[in-house]
Amino acid sequence: MNSDRTPAPTGPLVLVVEDEPLLRLAAVEMVEDAGYVAVEAADAFEAVRILESRDDIRIVFTDIDMPGGMSGVTLAAAIRDRWPPIDIIMTSGAVVPVDAMVPERGVFLAKPVSQRQFERTLEGFRTDPPTVM
């Protein structure tokens, strides 16, 4: 074991949904630098499969513009409907959603997202485990 390794983060789980591999990697690093644990999905359909199989995701950080028939806006609506306790961060470098597209307890951040902006957004969310309904 390499003693130079940084300990793995142990904070709440954030599902990062981004179709561009380099942008996904950068987003995962941002999540981990903020002290959270990242779980990755390459598209909205994979994100739904992950959410269906886990009950420990607290925040979803999703790009809006994704290929494959389900956008980040549609994903956010599905999350709000099926997993109401999960907080949502939507981001895009091209699309600026109208307020009606951002669900309750959701936030839009324009790309590029700075580490400081991202961390302030995370601080605004509650990170307590959701109540089972």
Residue 8 confidence (pLDDT) above 60:
no
Structure tokens at 39: 């779980």
Q: How confident is the model at residue 9 (pLDDT cuts 50, 70, 90)?
A: low
Q: Report the number of distinct structural domains present in the chain.
A: 1
126 against 117, higher pLDDT: 117
When pLDDT is cut at 50, 70 and 90, the band that residue 96 belongs to is confident
Residue 125 pLDDT level (bands cut at 50, 70, 90): confident
Q: What is the mean pLDDT of the chain?
A: 86
The answer to whether residue 26 sits within a structural domain is yes
The verdict on residue 105 lying in a domain is: yes
Q: For residues 113 and 69, is the Cβ–Cβ distance under 8 A?
A: no
Query: Is residue 132 over pLDDT 50?
Result: no
Q: pLDDT higher for 94 or 130? A: 94
Residue 86 maps to a domain: yes
In a domain, residue 131? The reply is no
Axis crossing angle, helix 21-33 with helix 115-124, rounded to the nearest 10:
60
Average pLDDT estimate for 14-21: 97
115 within some domain:
yes
Tell me the pLDDT tens digit for each residue of 52-79: 999 999 999 999 998 888 999 999 999 9
CATH of the domain at 77: 3.40.50.2300
Q: How many whole angstroms separate alpha carbon 116 and alpha carbon 77?
A: 26
The type of residue at 66 is M
**33 falls within a domain:** yes
Domain that holds residue 32: 13-124
pLDDT, one tens digit per residue, over 24-60 is 999 999 999 999 999 999 999 999 999 999 999 999 9
